[in-house]
Each structure stands twice: as C-alpha cells, then as structure tokens.
Structure 1
Amino acid sequence: MLDTRDSPIPSPALLKVLDGAVDLHVHSGPSPFPRRLDHVEASYDAARINMRAILIKSHHHNTVMDLLAMKELLKDAPTPAYGGVALNSEVGGVNPSAVAVTIQMGGRAVWGPTVSAGQHIRAHSHDDGFPTAGSNLEEKEETIWAEDGTVSPEAVRVTQLVAEAGIMLSGGHLDAESMKALFATAQENGVRRLLLHHPDFIINASEGDVEEMLRYGAFVEHEMSMYHPAVPAPGFPIQQLVDWIERVGPERTVIDSDLGQKTNPLPVDGYIYVIQQLLDHGVKEKDVRQMICRNTAFLLGLEESA
C-alpha cells in the first residue's frame, strides 16, 4: 500500500479547488525507468483529492495493456485510469499498427516520439536529471518526416487513426518544426484533441511556434514536476507558470503532474503544492479548475467540449 504519511494535507479550501481534477501525465509503473508507485497505487493516490481520472504515460510501451492486465486489481480502485502509447522505437516508432492496437484495446492517447525524438536526444546528451533505464534499450531516433521532406505516410496515417477514434494526440518531445507539421496534418485530418507539452523544456518552442500550434487547436501543458522544489530539475519559478497562463489563457492551458518517478513527490503532492502556489500568486480558482478539470477532461474524451 502506498505510504502517504509524509505527504502534505491540503486545506478544505484547496480540496474544493482540486476536486474532480484529471491528471494527463502520470508516470506510474511498471516501466524501465524507476517508479515510485504502480498504476493501482496511482489510482489510490489520486483519490486523496477526489480526482476524476488519470492517464498513465510510459515512454516505452502501451500502458493500456498494463491496465487490462491489472483489471482485477483496479476494479475496486477509486480513480479510473486510462492508457495510451508513445511512438518511440520500443513500439516501432511512428507506427500506425501500434496506434491501431492501442485504440482497439481502449487507449485514449497517442504521444509523438518522446525519448526517441531527436530534440529529446540532443537535450539529454548530458546528465540533467532526466531518468534513465540503467541499461541499453537499443533506442534509435524517430521522426515524422519522410526522406523527401514531407510528413511521412506513417505519420499521416497515425493522425487519421487518432481522428477516427476521437482520442488525444500529443506532440511528445518533437522539435517545434516537426510538431507544427504534425499538428497541421492532424488538424487537416480532423483531430480535435491536441496537446503541446512543456514548450519551455526540451521543446524550446518560441512564442510564434506556440501561437501557430494554438491555431491548429492545441492546448499547452505545463507540468507540476517542473515547479516543485523537491524535483531537482528544471526548477522553474512559479512566476514563469503564471506568466504562461496569462500569455496563453486558462482556456487553452492544462496543468498536469508529470510525477511518479522514484525519487520525486507523489503526483497528488505536486497538485497540493503547485496549485496552492498559483492561488497564492493571484490565479483565480475558476481559472485553475478550467486548467486542471475541464480542459483535461476534454482532452481525455470525458467531455465533448472544454
């Protein structure tokens, strides 16, 4: 059972704000990267603040299969857990077959290449605190581009499958130019739920890049792990997040935990700390709930409109 004895206790006022949140970025295990909790424990952790749902992300495999294998353990768990697939080399890269399997088994999300993206590989060529598997996973760089410089047929087909299923497509850790091309293709093919992760970490998207992706219908995600003092890197100041919210607007911003790593705070501990900080810095309760409840529910397919 998950040990939360050292976890912070939210005030009744904060609990009211957090009630019904949806976390789209939970890194529970199993995973080649060391994890602090498994998917069942993540469900119970989420119940501490009465979350509506969580989305389990792995850089290495289809998490829907995990959840189905844990079905008996999860049947009495308090918070519904959903899965998806990240298109890294472990699943064949930008692989429509991997996406089709994920969708058929009930997946709610497809992430573009993360640890296999060239942008990620270049950003993490030195020790910056990003977790490692502790062994060689034979990863190779994956791309959305064909040799002739156009979006590859495989990437186009991925967007078509995502659109047909009505699920979420994230740009993963692709560079901004690749992500813009992927999102433009996705919009053309009818994808309604698009997500840009941490534009100021790894992606290094410019303000113009973000504005273009917003025009394609993307939401912009920021991660609590990057603003929590117990997480060593990148250690962004909370004012940076406040500035992003003011720039993009709460209507198109989502805030998720990106927690579950072995040495980091629990996902809910991230919510308790970061959301209180936002409130203390003047972000309105209704705007917080837009970002952690309504927008995230829409992206997970729990609501038809944000």
Structure 2
Amino acid sequence: MQDTVHKEQDREAEVSALLKGAVDLHCHSGPAAMPRILDHHEALLDADEAGFRALLFKDHFYLGVSHCAMLEKLVPSDVKLYSGLALNNANGGINPHAVSHAINIGAKIIWLPTLSAQNHLDQAEGQGKTFPKTAKRMLPPEGLSAVDGSGQLTDAVKQVLDLIAEGDIILSGGHLPASELVMIFEEARKRGVRKMLVNHPTYIVGASDDDMRAMVELGAYMEHSIAMWSEGKGKIFGPDELAHYIEVAGVDRTVLSSDLGLQGAPRPIEGFRTIVRMLLDLQVSHSDIRKLVGHNAAGLLNLA
C-alpha cells in the first residue's frame, strides 16, 4: 500500500515537472456569454501556480487583449497573457477592419469564424443541445463561409490573410470545414502567413487523417482539445485516439491546448495534468511531451 502511495506521488511530481513552461493556446475563461467555471484572473493564478509560461484567452465574441494588459499589470506573475479575435457575427464576421485593429493593439491570433461558421451551425443542429449555449438568448447567427457562391475564397478572406502575414501572428481555422481550410492555408502560405493552426480538427471541422496530413504539409499545426480527453461532458476520446492523432501530424506539428473553462468539465490546469498522465501511460518521452504541451505553442507565440 505504501509503495503504491509513493508511486502515485512520484507520478504526480513527474506530471508537475513536465508542466513547467507549458502554454495553453485555448483557455475559455470568463467573463463570457457562455457560462464559465473560472474567470481570467483565476485562470492566471492557476497557471502561475503550475509554472506555465503563457496563457491565451479565447472568447467567441470579443477581443481579450485589454484584459491581458490589465491583468499583467495588476497581478505580477511569470505567465505571459495573450488573446486574439474570433471573426464571428459579433465582430462583423470576416472583417478586415476588426482584424487590423486587433493586430495593432497586440492580438496574437485571429480565429476564422467559430460559432458563426455555417459549418458550425450545421454541425450544432445535428448535435441538438449538446453544444454549449450562451447564458442569454442572442440574435440568430448568420452563417459565415470563407468562400463565395462559386467556391472561391472571398476578397475579405484574402485581405485578412494579408494582415495576418504582415503582423506575423497565428491564423487559426476556427470551425470552418476541412475542405475550406485546405484552400485557405494554400492561399495563406502564398501570401506569407507563417503560423497556421487547426482547432480540434476531428471535431466540427471534420478533418480526416489525409486532410490533417495535407494541412501539415502546408505548414499548419494540429491543435487538439484536452477537453475531449478530460472527465466531464466534453469527453469523447481515449488514449488510442490521442496516440493516433499525434502520429498522423507528428509531434513537431501537434499542439495540445485545454479548450477548457466550460461548465461540467475540469479547470484548464487539471485538464493538462490529465493529458500528461495519459501521455506518460502511452510511454511518450519527456522531450516530446514538453513539445506537445508547451514548446510548439511557444514557437507560435514567438517566445524564444
């Protein structure tokens, strides 16, 4: 019994050590239109205690850069705080003016449409009530796509890509379908975008293994949501899927981010602890685990 306790303590110490310097590119803390289990301040305190290097707040409806600046000033810590803008209806959709403003005040990522993507709306309708809802009723969403009626990328998308390339920040695929993302990343690479990310490619986005490989070939990283391996209503995958998805994209092109903060699921840091335990059980090396939970994401944020 005592040996078991010691082994468990050793394992938890190992997990804690591997999380030093971790980066979460997908923290869903609040305030938010969707109910959250923690706010940005609490998320920062959790990350600081765990020794994280950086935290990136994601909200589907607003730019969180100002929150980051004020929190960094008021709560001294070693954690760098970042945010970005999701191009949903609340921000004018695929709106170059909003993107220009966001980049100029320090946004590190632009998410293409998420909750307002027509693909998301189609998928959410199929899932019924399982997708998280806003606390208060909002105006009906207007479905957004990156392509026009002839299947070509819109001029607004191309202008956004140019702004992202000039700002040297992350282009994230949001909840657009894999078929659109391949087109977008091809165009983005031509226009000089150097940092591309696919959010939960196997959820909503609908990417096959071949789609993921094609996007990696274009220079994109596959960002998998730890929420989908954590206990709670967001869990849909197990260790076998984790090992497979890492193999498909490769360790050097895979990012594990929490996508946590939603009700009925653990806090982001506990999600990270869960995924590191799972990686250790899969016998993933320490160096590879550090890439998956920190180093790769840090590179996207230009952290040396």
> Same fold by TM-score, threshold 0.5 exceeded?
yes
For the 8 Å contact 2:72–2:81, the answer to whether it is kept is no
State the one-letter code of the partner of 2:295.
R
CA distance in 1: counterparts of 2:69 and 2:248, whole angstroms: 40
More helix, by proportion:
2
Structure-1 separation of matches of 2:72 and 2:54: 16
Unaligned runs of 5+ in 2: 1-7
Aligned partners of 1:44 and 1:79 also within 8 Å? no
- Provide Cα deviations, 1:41-65, integer angstroms capped at 9, x if missing partner: 1111112220000110001111113
Matched, 1:15 2:16: yes
- Report how far residue 129 of structure 1 moved: 3.0
Is the CA contact 2:213–2:248 (under 8 Å) kept in the aligned structure 1?
Answer: no
2:238 paired residue number: 237
Question: Superposition pairs for residues 46-65 of structure 1, below 5 Å?
Answer: 46-65=47-66
Q: Which amino acid aligns with 1:98?
A: A
| Cα separation, 2, equivalents of 1:83 and 1:189 | 23
* C-alpha distance 34-78 of structure 1, shift in aligned 2 (>3 A): farther
Two-structure CA RMSD over aligned residues (Å): 1.7
Aligned match for 1:218, one of 188, 213, 220: 220
How many residue pairs match? The answer is 294
SS in 1 for 2:263: coil
The secondary structure found in structure 2 opposite 1:83 is strand
Query: Which residue in the other structure is 2:3 paired with?
Result: none
Distance in 2, Cα, partners of 1:78 & 1:39 = 15
Aligned equivalents of 2:121, 2:235: Cα separation in 1: 17
Matches within 5 A, 1:21-40: 21-40=22-41
1:123 corresponds in structure 2 to: 123
Could you tell me how far apart the structure 1 residues matched to 2:267 and 2:289 are?
A: 20
What pairs up with 1:76-155 in 2 under 5 angstroms?
76-125=76-125, 126-138=127-139, 139-155=141-157
TM-score relative to the length of structure 1: 0.91
TM-score (norm 2): 0.92
Secondary structure, counterpart of 2:50 in structure 1: coil
- CA contact 2:25–2:56 (8 Å) conserved in 1: yes
Q: Deviations over 1:232-285 (max 9, x none)?
A: 134211211111112221011110111112332110000111111111121111
The answer to whether the 8 Å contact 1:23/1:256 transfers is yes
C-alpha offsets along residues 152-208 of structure 1, whole Å, 9 cap, x if unaligned?
111001111111111001000100111111111111111111001112111111122
Identity of aligned residues (%): 36
Q: Secondary structure at the match of 1:134?
A: coil
- The whole-number CA distance in structure 2 between the counterparts of 1:190 and 1:46 is 33
Distance in 2 of aligned mates of 1:86 and 1:16: 33
Query: Are 2:29 and 2:57, in contact at CA under 8 Å, matched by a contact in 1?
Result: yes
Worse-superposed segment, 76-85 or 101-110? 76-85
Residue 221 of structure 2 aligns to a residue whose secondary structure is strand
Q: How far is the alpha carbon of 1:148 from its aligned partner?
A: 3.5
Query: Are the equivalent residues in 1 in contact too, given 2:87–2:112 (CA < 8 A)?
Result: yes
Aligned position for 1:284: 285
